[in-house]
Structure 1
Amino acid sequence: MTEQLTRFDTVDYLKSPEEMAAYLDACFEEDPGDGSLIRAALNDIARAQGMSQLSRDTGLGRESLYKALGSSGNPEFATVIKVMKALGLKLHASAA
């Protein structure tokens, strides 16, 4: 008998703004220093909210968002800030 597995997708677990913020916070903490985990988290959160809506809210094209937040993306800091603002998330610093 073959066991059926379902594919895990983080997006399925990002239902509330609090869950999204906690997820992004954790990714900031665990990022290896190259921003890849933060970019991936923003991509997951953007997909959970809807890329079309995010495109309208940021004024950036959907294709540009997919490219910037995709696995080989390298978004400019201004893009990260626009995306976070449109997603209702804030960037803040605290002493280590």
Structure 2
Amino acid sequence: MKRTTTRPWDPADHLTSAEDAVAYLDAALEAGEPQLVAAVLGDIARAAGMSTVAAASGLGRESLYKSLSVNGNPEFATVLKVIEALGLRLRVSPTAGISAASAGNLR
């Protein structure tokens, strides 16, 4: 039987444009899993250069590696700083499930 050779796959190697990063992060946000969002931000930061992101965000490189992993639990302030350092913007839109009545209660 022929042996299959495998090698590790790293999403950061395939994020070559801002559009790639936006689509990847958008999919993670849509999934609604905080740990997935943190890990995806970590992948995007590694693709951009973790040292560069750390310097632009004012955060420590090692702490970013740790908090932006599958097991990480970054503070929301950290997430916002990383998103800004990556040149991205976080936007909000209503879901299809929000009703006009409940939207009317927002003041």
Q: TM-score, normalised by structure 2?
A: 0.82
Shift of 1:86: 0.3
CA distance, structure 1, for counterparts of residue 7 and residue 68 of structure 2? 24
Show CA shifts across 1:31-54 (max 9, x none): 33xx11110110100110111111
Shift of 1:95: 0.8
Identity %: 51
Q: TM-score, normalised by structure 1?
A: 0.91
CA distance, structure 2, for counterparts of residue 29 and residue 53 of structure 1? 27
Q: How many pairs are equivalent? A: 94
Gaps of 5+ in 2: 96-107
RMSD (Å), alpha carbons: 1.0
Gaps of 5+ in 1: none
Shift of 1:55: 1.0
| Correspondence 1:1-96 to 2 at 5 A | 1-32=2-33, 35-96=34-95
